[in-house]
Amino acid sequence: MLPKKLVAEFLGTFMIVFGGCGAIAVNQLTGGAVSHVGIAITFGLCVMTMIYAVGHISGAHFNPAVTIAFALTRHFPKQEVLPYIGAQLLGALSASFFLTYNLTPILSSLTENTIINIGVTQPIDHQFATAFYWEFLLTFFLMFVIMSVATDYRAVSSNAGWAIGGVVWLEATFAGPISNASMNPARSIGPAVASGEYTHLLAYIGAPILGAVAGAFLYNYIRCDEHKENEIKGCC
């Protein structure tokens, strides 16, 4: 079953980078036809649709930070962490190189600019701390919501795609101009490698992992244990 899960993780991560970062590139090519709001919507919809498409196969992580947080909170087998992360990175890298090699010639035919923007993540003020703080908090709340809809039987699991995709959409809308709202090491690594631009990449790797782990552990802390549901007044 694991190879099928890895294919699902590859495809899901590929779609997020292909769709979301592709929207960024197309916005550049068309002089703003997609818009910032359109880019945020695209990222959210890519996450949502792929959750519904393959969530029942792989759990729809599509994000190394999510995989690590699930494993540390005992919601995912530790022996599957590295294969999952490998599939996610391969999906992000494949999508990023596709966008680079497919869209760079189109850009060159339109303008003298030969540098295509495939969504390399950089903070607005080019400060490491800005990227780190924002990505930590954004991923914290993303993982908090994921833990709720994915691990708590009281949540309506059929709405998981809407809830998680909605958080991505929301956070990309207001925080995208500040830190690019990556919330996903694979989504940042793919464009960085394809573009050869690694400035502040460590912030976009470390902060989402730490934020996801913190969000997962906090949700575990505040949730009700099944055997204590009737004992904790107002909790459940």
Computed over every residue of the chain, the mean pLDDT equals 92
Across 109-229, where does the E strand assignment appear? none
Lowest mean pLDDT across 20-29, 97-106, 133-142, 216-225:
216-225
User: 38: exposed, middle or buried (C-beta count within 10 Å: 0-12, 13-18, 19+)?
Assistant: middle
> Which residue is listed with tokens 């600019």?
113
Q: Taking 70 as the threshold, does the pLDDT of residue 157 lie above it?
A: no
Task: Return the percentage of the chain with pLDDT > 90, whole number.
Answer: 86
Beta strand extents in 35-143 (DSSP E only) = none
CB of 194 closer than 8 Å to CB of 97: yes
Tokens 């833990």 identify what position?
147
Averaged over 21-27, what is the pLDDT? 98
CA distance 71 to 99: 32
Residue 47 scores a pLDDT above 90? yes
List of domains in the chain: 2-228 (1.20.1080.10)
Question: What is d(CA 134, CA 60) in angstroms, rounded to the nearest whole number?
Answer: 24
Cα 125 to chain centroid distance, Å, stands at 22
Query: The tokens of 122 are what?
Result: 């950089």
- H or E segment to which residue 74 belongs: none
Nearest to 160 by CA among 68, 50, 67, 66: 50
pLDDT of residue 225: 61
Q: How far apart are CA 125 and CA 145, in angstroms?
A: 29
54: nearest Cα among 15, 103, 94: 15
State if pTM tops 0.95.
no
The answer to whether 92 touches 14, Cβ cutoff 8 Å, is yes
Whether 22 and 34 have beta carbons less than 8 Å apart is answered as no
Average pLDDT over residues 109-119: 90
Is the pLDDT reported for residue 232 higher than 60? no
Mean pLDDT computed over 172-195:
98
